[in-house]
């Protein structure tokens, strides 16, 4: 059952928290996703079995959290992640970000700094407001118009709002070194037709960290949600936790 945490400005963020000791895994969902997904649930259940903490959350305007999705930005959501980490957890953190959540993972880690003991990116998509839109789409967003795209997974069309796009452009990371030095594990499907697997290799080069591993999953699509792929995520998370404990 989700609880809510109130930020000073009145935003109420839905979350689930388990465990009372050890490092805390924080799962950051992708664009228009929430904490009920298979990867989030699997990490939460593994944390319960292993006895370490795990925090799941829905960004404002997403899932069970209050707010309007059109107001959502990376800056706003990174602020929420950092606020809940500070209010609800102590000790080292392992941030796990899926797709857009992989970009948000980096931005939140830059805010949380020394508390972050590890990062796991699942098809991370930093800077996708730049490389993920053609010039005509970028011009439409720059004019303040919402862009609607067909959803690849059978859901209603997916909006990109001008506020989110502009904030994303202001938060691009791949053009310079990224000042994060904790261990990083990047998992990426070689059949990903949303975020190219080469992006994880580019991210690995940009990170200041030296302990960086990129795992390419043959045949893996963008979601990396098959039982075997979720098992890979759980092994990766367990190994990082063991190295910290």
Q: Alpha helices of 113-197 — where are they, by DSSP H?
A: 128-131, 135-142, 162-170
DSSP 3-state assignment of 229? helix
> Catalytic pick from 58, 98, 192, 200?
192
Does the active-site annotation cover 52?
no
> Catalytic pick from 52, 161, 188, 222?
222
Distance between CA 75 and CA 108 in Å, rounded?
9
Contact 172, 132 (CB under 8 A): no
Contact 164, 73 (CB under 8 A): yes
Distance between CA 132 and CA 165 in Å, rounded?
11
Does the active-site annotation cover 222?
yes
Relative orientation angle of helices 135-142 and 162-170, to the nearest 10 degrees:
110
> Catalytic pick from 33, 65, 99, 200?
99
Does the active-site annotation cover 99?
yes
Q: Which residues are catalytic?
A: 99, 192, 222
């Amino acid at each position: 059952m989700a609880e809510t945490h109130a930020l000073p400005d009145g935003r109420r963020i839905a979350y689930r928290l388990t465990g009372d000791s050890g490092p805390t895994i924080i799962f950051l969902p992708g664009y228009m996703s929430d904490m009920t997904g298979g990867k989030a649930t699997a990490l939460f259940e593994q944390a319960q079995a292993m006895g370490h903490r795990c925090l799941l959350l829905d960004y404002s305007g997403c899932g069970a959290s209050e707010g309007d999705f059109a107001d959502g930005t990376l800056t706003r959501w990174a602020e929420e992640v950092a606020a809940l980490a500070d209010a609800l957890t102590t000790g080292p953190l392992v941030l796990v970000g899926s797709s857009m959540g992989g970009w948000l993972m980096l931005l939140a880690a830059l805010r949380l700094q020394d508390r972050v003991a590890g990062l796991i990116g699942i098809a991370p998509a930093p800077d996708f407001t730049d490389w993920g839109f053609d010039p005509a789409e970028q011009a439409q967003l720059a004019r303040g118009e919402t862009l609607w795209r067909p959803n690849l997974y059978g859901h209603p069309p997916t909006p990109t709002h001008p506020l989110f796009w502009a904030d994303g452009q202001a938060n691009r990371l791949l053009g310079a070194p990224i000042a994060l030095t904790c261990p990083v594990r990047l998992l990426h499907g070689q059949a990903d037709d949303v975020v190219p697997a080469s992006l994880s290799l580019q991210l690995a080069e940009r990170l200041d960290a030296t302990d960086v591993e990129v795992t390419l999953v043959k045949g893996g699509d963008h979601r990396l949600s098959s039982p075997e792929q979720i098992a890979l995520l759980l092994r990766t998370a367990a190994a990082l936790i063991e190295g910290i404990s």
